[in-house]
Amino acid sequence: MIPIIDLKGQYQSIKKEIDEAVARVIASGGYILGPEVESLEKEIATFTGAKYAIAVNSGTDALLLALKAAGIGPGDEVITTAFSFIATAEVISFLGAKPVFVDIDPADYNLVVSQVERKITSRTKAVIPVHLYGQPAEMDALMALAGAKGLKVIEDCAQSLGATYKGRVTGTIGDAGCISFFPTKNLGAFGDGGMIITNDEKMANLLKKLHVHGAGEKYVHEVLGMNSRLDALQAAILRVKLKYLPGWSKQRNENTSFYNRSLKGLPLTLPVPKADVYHVYNQYTIATEKRDELQKHLKEKGIGTAIHYPIALPFQQAFSYLNLDLTEYPAAKKAAQSVLSLPAFPEMTPAQKDEVVAAIKSFFA
């Protein structure tokens, strides 16, 4: 059996360091925030080149709090992609704002900036680009548009930690970047976790209060916030893993290059990174009209796959209240019907990669 991701294998490869980090936190008696979390914040800031990093308890909370810190609230509109995990858009609704969807470029599954411009109204206050599967969105054009229209840009970097766009790390280009440490991410915790990075001092200072019930100091609540604290155990684990992330990203790229060479010529759409970007391949995602049949075939061969995502956001029942014209999202609809993610985790052996390729070739033979 080849899983879509091998978290047990990853743990075994760095078991001694992880166990020592966990034991250190348990022995300290400090489990919420504290020195481990502060150290992780500094290390993530250094890794990304951001001035500030604020640890929170999930990638979803990172998005929610970044929007709140950007002043998003009832009556506002926030433009985002039609093709992502629901967290990207649900946080907009949670704040009483309206999510406005735009279609994607089928070449990289990221939002189309020209469509963003057409959707801007007097109520539009922000845009959330998603660097889907680990490939950066087209940020130069988006930042130019946002600057001209006075819009905040909150980057969804849940899948793109370490990815770069023209030499800049994702999350440091817009007003804030939102990172997820969900276990299956390239840098995954042993549970939920997240981080907000920003170069905006005012936003950072507000975020530092918002994630601890709005308190600047204990029991002194200056604004209304929430409980979104990263725990010390997760921080300690992430600090160990962060050292390995560049190497893991390099290995994901090597696996991807192998797949692209080996699957070339088959009736598949293969992921190809755009010029001037470094794609970190949180997912290696192909597309085929025979997606469901291929997934069934691979399952029978003992190969794990995943569909990210089977229902585009405008088509989700949760957003039916928006009464959208669903004909506006043909590329997102097609992607939802055709994408399939293959195993590409760093610990894959050459034999495992050969097995995946052989199984795919046998399907199309």
> Over the stretch 24-62, which tens digit does the pLDDT of each residue have?
999 999 999 999 999 999 999 999 999 999 999 999 999
Mean pLDDT of 152-157: 98
Domain-located, residue 2: no
User: Are 212 and 274 contained in the same domain?
Assistant: no
Domain-located, residue 349: yes
Domain-located, residue 189: yes
For the entire predicted model, the pTM comes to 0.97
User: Are 225 and 345 contained in the same domain?
Assistant: no
Q: What's the confidence (pLDDT) of residue 276?
A: 94
Mean pLDDT of 8-22: 97
User: Are 254 and 210 contained in the same domain?
Assistant: no
The answer to whether 313 touches 102, Cβ cutoff 8 Å, is: no
The answer to whether 143 touches 149, Cβ cutoff 8 Å, is: no
Domain-located, residue 1: no
Per-residue pLDDT reduced to its tens digit, 59-117: 999 999 999 999 999 999 999 999 999 999 999 999 999 999 999 999 999 999 999 99
Mean pLDDT of 291-311: 98
The answer to whether 345 touches 252, Cβ cutoff 8 Å, is: yes
* Total residues belonging to the chain: 365
Q: What's the confidence (pLDDT) of residue 167?
A: 96
User: Are 144 and 211 contained in the same domain?
Assistant: yes
User: Are 76 and 30 contained in the same domain?
Assistant: yes
Domain-located, residue 51: yes
Per-residue pLDDT reduced to its tens digit, 312-364: 999 999 999 999 999 999 999 999 999 999 999 999 999 999 999 999 999 99
Domain end call among 201, 226, 242: 242
**Whole-angstrom Cα Rg for the chain:** 20
Domain end call among 224, 242, 260: 242
Per-residue pLDDT reduced to its tens digit, 231-268: 999 999 999 999 999 999 999 999 999 999 999 999 99
Q: Which two tokens stand for residue 172?
A: 């440091």
The answer to whether 103 touches 112, Cβ cutoff 8 Å, is: yes
User: Are 257 and 214 contained in the same domain?
Assistant: no
Q: What's the confidence (pLDDT) of residue 140?
A: 98
Distance (Å) of CA 253 to CA 82, 134, 246, 280:
26, 11, 11, 7
Q: What's the confidence (pLDDT) of residue 177?
A: 98
User: Are 75 and 180 contained in the same domain?
Assistant: yes
- E-assigned strand segments in the chain: 52-56, 77-81, 98-102, 124-128, 152-156, 164-165, 168-169, 176-180, 194-198, 215-217, 220-221, 277-278, 284-287, 339-342
Q: Give CA torsion, residues 261, 303, 248, 158, to 10 deg.
A: 100
153: CATH = 3.40.640.10
Q: What's the confidence (pLDDT) of residue 138?
A: 97
Mean pLDDT of 298-311: 98
The Cα 260–Cα 200 span in angstroms is 39
Domain count, the chain: 2
Residue partners of 136: CB distance under 8 A and separation at least 6: 110, 160, 163, 164, 165, 170, 274, 277, 278, 279
> Residue 270 is part of which domain span?
245-364
Q: Which two tokens stand for residue 234?
A: 């997760």
Residue 273 has pLDDT above 90, yes or no: no
- In this prediction, residue 228 has a pLDDT band, given cuts at 50, 70 and 90, of very high
User: Are 147 and 186 contained in the same domain?
Assistant: yes
User: Are 100 and 192 contained in the same domain?
Assistant: yes
